[in-house]
Amino acid sequence: MRRFRFFFPWILTGFLLALTISIYPAFAEDTPLTIESVRVIPTPEGAFIEVHINQPFSFVTYTLTDPDRLIVDPVEPQVVSPLPEVTPLSQKPISALHMVRSTGAGSTGSVDYLEFDLTGPVEHLVESTEGMLVIRVRPKGGQEDPPPAAARLPLAEVPQGLPAVAAPLDPPASPERVAAAGGSGTTSPSWRVAGLPPAPAAEPVADTSAWDLDPVMDFALGRHRPVQIGREEVELAQMKVREAKRALYPAATLKSSWTTGTASNVDFREASSGLQVEHPLYYSGRLKEAYRQSLVNLQVAEKRQGKVKADFALEVAQAYLQLIGAKAGLASQGGLMEEVDKFMEQSQARFDKGLLTRLELLNVESQANQAKFQRASAENDLAMARLKFLQRLNMDPNAAEEVPDHFSSAQVPQVDLEEAFQLSDRYRPDIQVNNLLVQFHEHEVRIAKAKGDLKVDLSGFIGSSGAAFESEDLRLKKDYFVGVKATQSWGPHGATASVTDTHTSPRLGQTTRTDSTVYSGELGIYSQLSGLSEVQQALINLEKARNDLEETKQAVFQEVQEAYLSFAKARLQVEYAKQKVAFRQEQLKIIKAQASLNEVLPSQVLEAILRLAEERVGQTQALTNLRVALAKLNKAIGLPGHYR
């Protein structure tokens, strides 16, 4: 029996080490991560890459050059896949997929990273949905043949303390892991479950050409304070992930003490030092659930940041497009005042010669005043649109801007409402956040239930201690103890049992070591009522989250429907305005021909000119409404720039 007591702590210590080594790779997951399939879907601007997985996982993404490649690098040590080594693809800008597996002595053949061969430089954004990782890829600049470098906003307008431009719509950081895949690397925008803080975006460059919407958007997002706050919330969520992961591992504490005092009028001294280790041996899966919940919480923070960006991006896009429309509306009246002044001079000369009545002259003057009013209204609209645009960019109201003065000619896209519903259900940040909140509360329910299940803690200490009177030599000898504590709830009651085997060196006044084994047990009567209420509260929160998800889906689908109807209406308005302009142009030609034969009055000609100017302004407004409707539709489905 004494021999068993001597070997008991060493048996427990060996068991702890063996258990720790055996479960070390599987702290976060019970089953290996499996990449089940990869699908590439072409889009008007590039392609979607859908990576189907069996569970949430952490990853980083980055791009490489020479040749151009996109890397998806899982953080998990054990990733498997039934897919072949190379899968040819013919969806631009992606030409092939490589499943790069680990090789060498001791390797298990698991997937090291995914490598997509590209036909050229790309931009990419990453979205995570339940059971799927979606990567949006498009050629840089959003075109197959990239245009000249877009104009950038002047650095002089950037206030101190804020970046010149924001990180892209889902900003991640790309760690220095390029060497793992070979080649020279350049980071690109990406989304991830866990990683490093966001990488700073490139600074804008001054240019004399017109500003494109994409750099304007980056600039505005970089100066939008809620975006900065959202980034800080993401960093906080990353800290929570590290905290939850740390709880899975043993906790070690170095201890040391020195005591001096007097006993029986004789001075003494005591010393103790050692290492104390505590390990959550078995928590019924609660710690793993807490870690998974922290990963979901990180995704929630990322998606909420994306929602803030999407909401503000729509405001910036509206201000940008309305400013272009205001400039185009004013430009459509170019030459109007010169022609009006010309008619006034001609009418006054004819009146002086007695060829016009005073009533006709007054009518011409009235038409001229109306033209001046139209011009002044267009100038006021432009001033207000410019002020609103500069406010959205957080710039000085008197700052110069180089927004285009007309809309680029582009074919109106075809929008399928059913497809828009499907895209919004998958990519809209509001729905993604509520989906993740449902997962978050599902983990919370399992955590609350696991708190009442069996919990086993293992603790131990190894070190040295000693005590001696002033006249004696202080000699330190080994101390150690090993303890196991088990806790289990039985309904509202709680039971605790523990066993501790302790071996200490002689204390003051002792000549031999102290060896003891302590067995203890406790039964708390109605001590776990709080645990029952915690489970019930978690269930209620889960039901609320599911209800919020359904309400959010309904609200989003209604928004998509309204945005689609606005787009359809704006498209009809553009066609109608185009026809009206053509009609007024033809009418003006006929009236001018009649005027050359003195068959119509000058006021009639001037009225036709004003009507044509009004219709051109209306056509510009219809084009503005169409572009704004597309921006709202893109925001409604959660994919900025999808419909162009």
∠ CA 203-209-215, rounded to 5°: 35
Same-domain status, 305 and 252: no
> Cis peptide before 67, with omega less than 30 degrees from 0?
yes
Distances (CA, A) of 277 to 92, 245, 274, 505, 553: 55, 17, 10, 19, 49
Q: How far apart are CA 86 and CA 288, in angstroms?
A: 35
Q: How far is CA 620 from CA 327, 374, 387, in A?
A: 9, 14, 20
Asked, for residue 409, whether it belongs to a domain, the answer is no
Q: Tell me whether residue 440 is in a domain.
A: no
Query: Are 79 and 24 in a shared domain?
Result: no
Query: 167 and 86, same structural domain?
Result: yes
The verdict on 318 and 425 lying in the same domain is yes
pTM, entire model: 0.67
DSSP SS3 for 120 = coil
Residues 6+ apart with CB under 8 A from 497: 485, 486, 519, 520, 521, 522
Total domains in the chain come to 3
pLDDT value for 188: 33
Give the integer Cα–Cα distance in Å for 621 and 611: 15
Point out the domain boundary residue: 527, 556, 572: 527
97 lies in the same domain as 119: yes
Full residue range of the structural domain in which residue 612 is found: 298-398+418-435+539-637
Would you state the pLDDT for residue 183?
37
What are the Cα distances from residue 612, in Å, to 443, 553, 599?
65, 45, 20
394/304 same-domain check = yes
> Which DSSP category does 265 fall into?
T
Residue 78 pLDDT: 76
Closest by CA to 628, choosing from 422, 407, 458, 399, is 407
Let me know if residue 442 belongs to a domain: no
Q: What is the CATH number of the domain that holds 143?
A: 2.60.40.3500
Examine residue 292 and state whether it is found in any structural domain, yes or no: no
Tell me the CA distances in angstroms from 188 to 121, 124, 170, 171, 527, one per residue in order. Answer: 10, 7, 10, 9, 54
As a dihedral over the C-alpha atoms of residue 548, residue 553, residue 556, residue 560, rounded to 10 degrees, the angle is -170
CB atoms within 10 A of CB 130: 12
Give 503-507's long-range contacts (Cβ < 8 A, gap of 24+): 503/9, 503/478, 503/479, 504/465, 504/479, 505/464, 505/465, 505/466, 505/476, 505/477, 505/478, 505/479, 506/466, 506/467, 506/477, 507/270, 507/467
444 assigned to some structural domain: no
642 lies in some domain = no
Question: What CA–CA distance (Å, rounded) separates 244 from 246?
Answer: 5
Verify that 103 and 1 share a domain, yes or no.
no
Asked if 429 contacts 303 with a C-beta cutoff of 8 angstroms, the reply is: yes
Same domain membership, residue 273 and residue 143 = no
Asked if 466 and 475 touch (Cβ cutoff 8 Å), the reply is: yes
Q: Which residues of the chain have pLDDT under 50?
A: 1-10, 15-16, 18-29, 142-208
Q: How far apart are CA 203 and CA 508, in angstroms?
A: 70
Say whether both 277 and 195 belong to one domain. no
Whether 185 maps to a domain, the answer reads yes
Does residue 410 form part of some domain?
A: no
Give the long-range contacts of residues 567-570, CB within 8 A, separation 24 or more: 567/415, 567/626, 567/629, 567/630, 567/632, 567/633, 569/629, 570/622, 570/625, 570/626, 570/628, 570/629
Q: Check whether residue 425 and residue 495 sit in a common domain.
A: no
Same domain, 593 and 508: no
Query: Can you say whether residue 183 is alpha, beta or left, with left for phi > 0 and alpha for psi between -120 and 50 degrees?
Result: left
Going by the DSSP 8-state scheme, the letter that residue 25 receives in this structure is: G
- Which CATH number do you get for residue 317? 1.20.1600.10
Please indicate, yes or no, whether residues 66 and 186 belong to a single structural domain of this protein: yes
Number of residues that this document lists for the chain: 644
